[in-house]
Structure 1
Amino acid sequence: MWHARLAARPADLRIADPGVARMFDERLYKRGALTLHSLRREVGDERFFRLLRAWVAEHRHGTVTTPAFTALAEQHAGRPLGEFFATWLHRAALPALTA
């Protein structure tokens, strides 16, 4: 449902670098949520939730970066996820959800 709604909107921004004028655009938040949902499908529930627990434990009350998250995600996935994150974070076109 949310993917279809977002797909109907203009695909003219990248969530990794939306620019100052668009940093609070609602599409960023929805696409971010869809990115995590797709990551969960990509790596499976066990690895996804282990990743989230590790992320919170390591970064509680701290600042974080996207590269730090993607590196930890790859560590927990046990394989490279560069293309996955490039598609979801660095390209304007909304990708299909991971099956």
Structure 2
Amino acid sequence: MPDLRGLTVVVTTADPDRWRAALMLASAEAALRGRARVYCHEAAVTLLARSELVDTALELGVILIACQTGLAAHDLPLPDFAEAGGLVSLLAELGEDRLVTL
């Protein structure tokens, strides 16, 4: 199999259907051995409560990134399984990744 470009998925709202789709898409990429990241933008950080899909994504190596502004706005701590970040750092580290927004 040729080297895969990575995949970065931005979840733009606190919609559970978009969250589920983002985790499934990133998990599929990780299963193919590509770099997979999911960035929860602003209110989407409220979706970071642990669930079966989060656990599966983490086991496959998906990186979860929580918007620092969103965490502060919703008075939430950074989950121990996620990284803190922002749009600037996300784009700065994008490299050759494909970028998908949901």
TM-score of the pair, normalised by structure 2: 0.28
TM-score of the pair, normalised by structure 1: 0.29
Structure with more helix by fraction: 1
| Higher-RCO chain (CA-CA 8 Å, sequence separation at least 6) | 1
Structure with more strand by fraction: 2
